[in-house]
Amino acid sequence: MRLLQKNIVPIVFIVLCTIGFHYSGLSWMFFANDLMTRLARNSFLVISLIIPVLAGMGLNFGIVLGAMAGQFAAFITVVYNLTGITGFFLACVLSIPFAVLFGWLTGILFNKAKGKEMITGLILGFFANGLYQLVCLIFIGWIIPISNKALLLPSGIGFVNTLDLKIWQYAIDKFYVFKLKGITTPLLKYLNNINFPVLTLIIVALLCTAVYLLFRTKLGQDFRAVGQNRHIAEVAGIKVDRVRIIAVIFSTVLAAWGQLIFLQNIGNVQVYGSHVQVGTFAVAALLIGGASVSKATIGQALLGTVLFHALFIVSPLAGKNIMGSAQVGEYFRVFVAYGVIGIALALHAWQRLTKKK
């Protein structure tokens, strides 16, 4: 019973997904393959949220800046035509300086708005998006010269809406694809014919291990100490502000890489759109996995990614079949993303208030 109560959020969503899957009329093969693709391309972004949560800064809506860093790196590879798996990893390396800079600035801002990191991160995301548009739409081609005119709008200023990333699409996803065949064991046979993007999954697994191991180091211990009580950590001589900035930088760099993994799967970048909802969707996924504003595990991040995207896959068709309109399903999943975040934040604030009393 306690177990049920503790995991009520994921359980509700498992039920929702099951019902949705049933009404969507999708084949298991299609569903499972789509889900695998989405798990591989989105889980990195969700995992990038864990460190700030444990460092007591709540859900880092500022990972939008990480996504932007990733996209800047992607633009560079496109402009210089860096292709294939080398191109992709170069993009990862190139994204680091951007992400570190953005993370550092975000961290400073968060330190000035202690206790209000989440709303600050959210607004910062919107604000940064304005600056991003300023750079991509106005500065590119005007202040920053681009030789390849095909990338620019007809006026010669600003990137076109969609940049093709064929040069390194599937760089890691299709590096080695594994497909199970001919399994007859009752439950496991559902795994037949599913494409496993092995290298991507290995990278995600490595990341999970790295995050896990990070919390066995001195720095990880500092994150947790600061996360529990800034004042006590300060008295013990931990440089709280510095630790918090490092946590945000980690998160931002991981988000940049996460966005690149996402883009290499999609194969193009919506210059003015790909990053906008990154924060909201990643946060919603983490919360659906059962995490809270002050507690999150890798398992919750992965489970949340699976459930959130399962809902994403089934809801348009389920909406059409139940309500007679695919649009309803579309809006429903947007509502789920916002609603889950809203409810989780409200519950958290409520609990804290009652605890105080």
Partner 1 sequence: MDNDFLNKLGIPRLIISLFLAFLVAAAFSFGLPMGQIFSAMLTRFGMNALLVLAMIPTIQAGAGPNFGLPFGIICGLIGATLAIELDLRGFTAFFFAIGVSIPLGAIAGWLYGLLLNRVKGQEMTVGTYMGFSIVSVMCIFWLMAPYKSPEMVWPYGGDGLRVTVVLDGRMEQLLDRFLSFTVNGVTIPTGLLLATALCCVLLWIFMRTRTGLAMSVVGSNPRFAEASGLNVNKYRLLASVVSCAMGAAGIVIYSQSYGFIQLYQAPLYMALYSVSAILIGGASLQRATITQALIGTFLFNALLVIALPVANVAMDSDISEIMRVIISNGIILYALTRKEVGGDAR
Partner 2 sequence: MTGAARLEMKNISKQYYGNRVLKGLSFSVNKGEVLSLVGENGAGKSTLMNILFGMPVIHSTGGFDGEIFLDGEKANIKSPEEAMKLGIGMVHQEFMLLPGFTITENIKLNREITKDSLLSKIFGKPMKWLDLPAMKADARQSMDTIGLGIDEMLPVRGLPVGHMQFVEIARELDKKNIRLLVLDEPTAVLTESDADKLLEAMKILTGKGISILFISHRLDEVMAASDKIVVLRDGEQIAETRPSETTIDRIAELMVGRKIESGEMVGRPPSELKDDYILEIRDLSVAMPGERVKGVNLDVKRGEILGIGGLAGQGKIGIANGIMGLFPSDGDVKKNGKTIKLNAARASLDNAMAFVSEDRRGTGLLLDDSIEFNIVATAIQVQGKFLTPGKVRILDSQAMTGLATNMIQELDIRCTGPGQLTRRLSGGNQQKVCIARAIILEPNLLFVSEPTRGIDIGAKKLILDHLVKLNRDNGLTIVMTSSELAELRSICDRIAIVYQGKLEGILLPTDSDRDFGLMMAGEYHKFHGKEAV
Chain centre to alpha carbon of residue 116: 21
Which CB, 10 or 56, lies closer to partner 2? 56
Per CB under 8 A, the segment of 13-21, 26-34, 41-49, 348-356 that binds partner 1 is: 348-356
Verify binding: residue 273, partner 1, rule CB under 8 A: no
Chain centre to alpha carbon of residue 8: 23
Kindly tell me which residue out of 218, 324, 353, 355 binds partner 2, with binding defined by CB under 8 A.
218
CA 255, CA 282: separation in Å to the nearest integer?
Answer: 10
The CA-based dihedral angle spanning residues 291, 292, 298, 302, taken in that order and rounded to the nearest 10 degrees:
40
Verify binding: residue 113, partner 1, rule CB under 8 A: yes
Verify binding: residue 32, partner 2, rule CB under 8 A: no
Verify binding: residue 355, partner 2, rule CB under 8 A: no
Verify binding: residue 93, partner 2, rule CB under 8 A: no
Verify binding: residue 181, partner 2, rule CB under 8 A: no
Sign, CA dihedral 285-279-281-163, equals: negative
Verify binding: residue 53, partner 2, rule CB under 8 A: no
Q: Binding partner of residue 188 among partner 2, partner 1, none, CB under 5 to 8 Å per kind?
A: none
Verify binding: residue 244, partner 1, rule CB under 8 A: no
- Buried/exposed code over 330-345 (b: 16+ C-beta within 10 A; e: otherwise): eebbeebbeebbeebb
Which CB, 179 or 352, lies closer to partner 2? 352
Kindly tell me which residue out of 51, 65, 222, 320 binds partner 2, with binding defined by CB under 8 A.
222
Sign, CA dihedral 83-86-89-90, equals: negative
Kindly tell me which residue out of 96, 135, 152, 238 binds partner 2, with binding defined by CB under 8 A.
238
Verify binding: residue 157, partner 1, rule CB under 8 A: yes
CA 321, CA 330: separation in Å to the nearest integer?
Answer: 13
Verify binding: residue 122, partner 1, rule CB under 8 A: yes
- If one counts every other C-beta atom within 10 angstroms of the C-beta of residue 176, the result is 12
Verify binding: residue 119, partner 1, rule CB under 8 A: yes
Residues 6+ apart with CB under 8 A from 201: 40
Verify binding: residue 206, partner 2, rule CB under 8 A: no
CB of 276 to partner 1, least distance (A): 11
Verify binding: residue 182, partner 2, rule CB under 8 A: no
CA 92, CA 85: separation in Å to the nearest integer?
Answer: 11
Residues 6+ apart with CB under 8 A from 203: 44, 172, 261
CA 347, CA 187: separation in Å to the nearest integer?
Answer: 37
Query: 183: which 2 tokens?
Result: 């399994």
Query: 96: which 2 tokens?
Result: 């680091």
The closest alpha carbon to 103, from 247, 260, 211, belongs to 247
Kindly tell me which residue out of 65, 225, 269, 284 binds partner 2, with binding defined by CB under 8 A.
225
Query: 131: which 2 tokens?
Result: 């600056």
Sites for partner 1 among residues 30-89 (CB under 8 A): none
Per CB under 8 A, the segment of 31-39, 68-76, 221-229, 338-346 that binds partner 2 is: 221-229
Verify binding: residue 216, partner 2, rule CB under 8 A: yes
Q: Binding partner of residue 254 among partner 2, partner 1, none, CB under 5 to 8 Å per kind?
A: none
- Per DSSP, the three-state class of 163 is strand
Total residues in contact with partner 2, by rule CB under 8 A: 17
CA 177, CA 208: separation in Å to the nearest integer?
Answer: 21
Verify binding: residue 109, partner 1, rule CB under 8 A: yes
What does the binding site for partner 1 look like in residue numbers (CB under 8 A)? 109, 112-116, 118-120, 122-124, 126-127, 129-131, 133-134, 137-138, 142, 155, 157-158, 323-325, 327-328, 331-332, 334-335, 338-339, 341-342, 345-346, 348-350, 352-353
What does the binding site for partner 2 look like in residue numbers (CB under 8 A)? 216-219, 221-222, 224-225, 228-229, 232-233, 235-238, 246
